[in-house]
Chain A
Amino acid sequence: MDTLDQFINYFSQNSGYIWVQFYRHFLMAVYGVLFAAIISIPLGILIAKYGKLSSWVLALGSIIQTIPALGAMAVIMIVMGLGTNTVIVTLMLYSILPITQNTYVGMKDVDKTVVESGFASGMTRFQLLRMVELPLAVSVIMAGLRTALVIGIGIAAIGAFVGAGGLGAIILTGTNATDGTPIILAGAIPTALMAIIADLIMGWIERKLQPVKSSKPRTA
């Protein structure tokens, strides 16, 4: 009970500070995922079209995924220096696999007969991609972004070690204090909430983009 009181006390006294770190934390995660998406979505489309590349690219993505985030961040820090950019690059690396993989799967899952009928109706490859394949794959791609964002919010918490701040900094402060549990909670609970809320919102968008509902009457 005492810890809870102290937590509420700390939270109310430092709400401004926590909010600033929350915002910073969120932005780092979002930028990481956005930049990864810029690389990974075209990459996913590419490997879906040229199947030979796919195993190589996905294997490379998996290898990156196995490197401990803290280690990767430390190595990137040597090149990029201290601060948020290092965290964003690290997050980008970890987001490449989920986004590429989902784009790849989404593109592969598009019904071949739909693509063929589009082709038969005289659509160019670009039109096919834009008007048929991508709309059908977009919800799966969104699922990849969702996974990447949730992972990213978790990884951004260790960004505090390279001087990027964020909610991880609050957690670290708590570990240094004598009975720092309230401070640790003040950093950990918002981090968890952020991940949960991001997951819910992205899940909602994903469902909204689901093509099946609207296309069902047409295909049936």
Chain B
Amino acid sequence: MKKTLYKGRIILLLVLLTGCSLPGLASTTKDTIEIGALGTSESQIIAEILSIMIERETDADTDLVTHLGSSIVQHQGMTRGDLDITSTRYTGTDLSGALGMDPITDSDKALNIVEREFQERFDQTWANTYGFENSYSVAVTKEFAEKNNIETVSDLEPYADELRFGVDNAWINREGDGYDGFQETYFSFGEVYPMNVGLVYQAAASGYMDVVLAYSSDGRIKEFDLKVLEDDGRFFPPYDASPVIANEVLEKYPEIKDITERLAGQISTENMQELNYNADVELMNPRKVAIQFLENHNYFEDIEKGGN
């Protein structure tokens, strides 16, 4: 058609411009490693840490795909090949999510299973954990803990009848690791108040609640000076965080394996709380948080020397 000919010049130009990938936007060339992250600060900080380390030590470029909705989206992105690495994957979540298996309360066992299954089923490597976990955990104010000498969840039992327990709306009716299960393993609280999970920290700090169910790596545990109690009854499934890497990428850049090995066990839950605090409360950019953390730890270069 003639009118299309008229547009021919423009179209040709555009096709030339956009031949393989759109200029200016994250070019997904073969040398770009796509790192996926959830919407949480934690996930983004870790993704930035990986990105900085990889760009520093390999000749690959990295590109962050952030604010993914859930671990399932991350998993699908990995299996489709849109993502090469996902920064934070939690053992408990992916055991039941991506793998469709029953939850396991032993963290080493859970880690072994996801490592094996991801290798076999998806050709992906579930690397060793960073050292922190982001699980449901029972928290009280430090003041209360010190006064009554409380370290573990079981220590609360003598006081339980008089305590107000503030929990996540979604948790109270959860099967398995919800309140029903909690009562079976531990005990019942005097009264339970379901609320938006973001409110529990402040509720505990301001004294409206005596005990709350918190996310263990949330920076607000630190902000509101709460103490996380040890889950001595091993009730909550483990949510140890690890990166997952496509084997294809590992073959191409063996350095990444080295990076994840050096990071393994280096970021404790307390460290993570601090980093999350910087992002969630101090409103620092995740990339800045990551740079600061890596500089403080000398990019974990000393670990490399020790390891090799």
Contacts and interface: CB of A to CB of B under 8 A. Distances in A.
A176 interface: yes
Interface stretch (A51-59, A110-118, A123-131, A207-215): A123-131
B83 interface: yes
A140 to B, nearest CB: 16
B281 A178 contact: yes
A212 to B, nearest CB: 23
Contacts of A165: 26, 64-66
Interface string A18-56: 000001100110010011001001100110000000000
Given A82-B83, A161-B69, A34 B14 contact: yes
Interface stretch (A9-17, A60-68, A145-153, A196-204): A9-17
A134 B10 CA distance: 15
B163 to A, nearest CB: 25
B175 to A, nearest CB: 27
A118 B78 CA distance: 59
A83 B73 CA distance: 12
Interface stretch (B178-186, B250-258, B283-291): B283-291
A31 B21 CA distance: 12
A108 B207 CA distance: 70
A169 interface: yes
B40 A42 contact: no
A138 B62 CA distance: 42
B22 A84 contact: yes
Given A6-B283, A129-B2, A172-B67, A163 B7 contact: no
B22 A88 contact: yes
Contact of B283 (A10, A31, A34, A161): A10
Interface residues of A, number: 42
Chain A: interface secondary structure? helix
Nearest to B24: A27
A150 B28 CA distance: 27
Interface in B1-50: 1-7, 10-11, 14, 18, 22, 24-26, 28, 34, 36, 39-41, 44
A6 B41 CA distance: 18
Interface in A82-127: 82-85, 88, 125-126
Contacts of B81: 81
Given A41-B7, A169-B66, A176-B41, 9 more contacts: A31-B18, A38-B7, A163-B36, A163-B65, A165-B65, A172-B39, A173-B41, A173-B44, A183-B283
Interface of B: 1-7, 10-11, 14, 18, 22, 24-26, 28, 34, 36, 39-41, 44, 64-69, 73, 77, 80-83, 198, 220, 223, 279-281, 283-288
Interface of A: 6, 10, 13-14, 17, 23-24, 27-28, 31, 34-35, 38, 41-42, 45-46, 81-85, 88, 125-126, 129-130, 134, 160-161, 163, 165, 169, 172-173, 176-180, 182-183
